[in-house]
A and B are shown apart, each in its own frame.
Chain A
């Protein structure tokens, strides 16, 4: 069976902090291997960490997982993690920039930096997701995504190992979806594959 439809969004950005590795470990493997868009992730992590999480998630996921590289062009079906100690930015030509300018919200990489620049690049074709975490990084970025017409999904604070980060988004505005972790993956898949494709 074949049919044509317009891909409703062009990219997904995800922010996670304390408890995020476990949450991503549940969420990322749920994503359909045919996902037609790139996924960019800022997970707060120590500046001196090695590339362990890349290897770990690449093994775990159906999608290709890699560390974001400078000037790389984003590809559909690829998951890009911000490197430790660098901010991850998206350029309007859909390529990646890295920066080691000062911390934002005490964080480098910062979720707000990714969400803000991705929102400039993708406008209303962007989905932003905030998972568990202990600070408010990403809240202002989510607000910009929303103002630009994109979709904001927040992990239900009741189900997050640390509720602060999802809460800080909800305090600012009502996100499009507030969902338990297990339901976010299926929602993403249903957005890109609206009908059963057996």
Chain B
């Protein structure tokens, strides 16, 4: 019998790297969540963190627990999901939307916006406020999606700690806000609840950018600080998904350190506000 030897050049030498890749393969096969093409350093940090606090000795041991214990898997899912967000995060970005994008959207009779990777909804409500002030909210449908059911539930509830409202108000003013930010929420005890009028045209839905497909004919797609967690090939795939989901002339808004310059899809887009990563699908 001849056992073919693998080229040692292509073998990952680090056993921990092998464990990590087996773990993500296992999670994908068992639960359908696909982290195989996530940035490795980031994923490893999150896994190591879970190892440290749960007293598990190795990634292989953790893999066994993940495969057999669904509750534990959902804990790990929270570890792997990044939920850093705030209202009107990067106020200058929202100012650019107001000044450069809204005038174009105003020419459409009906507007569809997809907020991909919406996390707990802070930016979704920021956008709804902006659209309301520009008189567009009642003819806009916003689809807010995330792969993490726990944060999606938070987004639907729209209840945020009231002590954050001071920072959010500052962001809102910097972003060109036209009213008083406190008009958009009711404060009770330690919580601020966003007003229902903002929610009327928002549909929250479970959607996984890695495993799910094209989403409607969108006029604008917001996906900020999600692509940075993906490796190059997955980034390319997701930008392709956005391209297929946009109407001609539709807008794509990415995070401040994200880019499509190196993506093969780049030729189909043109920058609108390069500094704030606002692109437009060419006609």
Contact = CB atoms under 8 A, between A and B. Distances in A.
Interface string B76-97: 0000001010000000000000
Interface in A167-191: none
A121 B229 CA distance: 17
A97 B232 contact: no
Interface string A92-132: 10000111111000000000010011001100000000000
B228 A97 contact: yes
B241 to A, nearest CB: 19
A91 B228 contact: no
Interface residues of A, number: 20
B41 A121 contact: yes
A165 interface: no
Contact of A100 (B41, B84, B232, B259): B84
Contacts of B44: 117, 120
A70 B228 contact: yes
A59 interface: no
B265 interface: no
Given A71-B232, A92-B40, A117-B45, A100 B262 contact: no
B39 A100 contact: no
Contacts of B258: 70
Interface in A120-175: 120-121
Contacts of A90: 41
Interface string B215-247: 000000000010011001000000000000000
Contacts of B17: 92
Interface in B175-231: 225, 228-229
B257 A89 contact: no
Given A70-B228, A71-B232, A92-B17, A97 B41 contact: yes
Contacts of A70: 228, 257-259
Nearest to A118: B41
Contacts of B14: 92
Interface string B37-65: 00111101110000000000000000000
A98 B39 CA distance: 10
Nearest to A99: B42
Contacts of A92: 14, 17, 40-41
Contacts of A117: 41, 44-45
A86 interface: yes
A89 B228 CA distance: 11
A81 to B, nearest CB: 13
Contacts of B229: 99
Q: Which of A70, A90, A116 has the most CB of B within 10 A?
A: A70
A32 interface: no
A97 B257 CA distance: 10
The 4 A-B pairs of least Cβ separation, nearest first, read: A89-B41, A117-B41, A97-B39, A101-B82
A120 B17 CA distance: 10
Q: Which of B14, B84, B232, B258 has the most CB of A within 10 A?
A: B84
A89 B82 contact: no
Contacts of B225: 100
A85 B82 CA distance: 14
24 contacts: A69-B257, A70-B228, A70-B257, A70-B259, A71-B262, A86-B257, A89-B39, A91-B39, A91-B40, A91-B41, A92-B14, A92-B40, A97-B228, A99-B42, A99-B82, A99-B229, A100-B82, A100-B84, A100-B255, A101-B42, A101-B82, A102-B84, A113-B45, A117-B44
B40 A100 contact: no
Given A70-B259, A71-B262, A83-B257, A97 B42 contact: yes
Given A99-B82, A100-B225, A101-B82, A89 B262 contact: no
Contacts of A98: 228, 257
Nearest to B255: A100
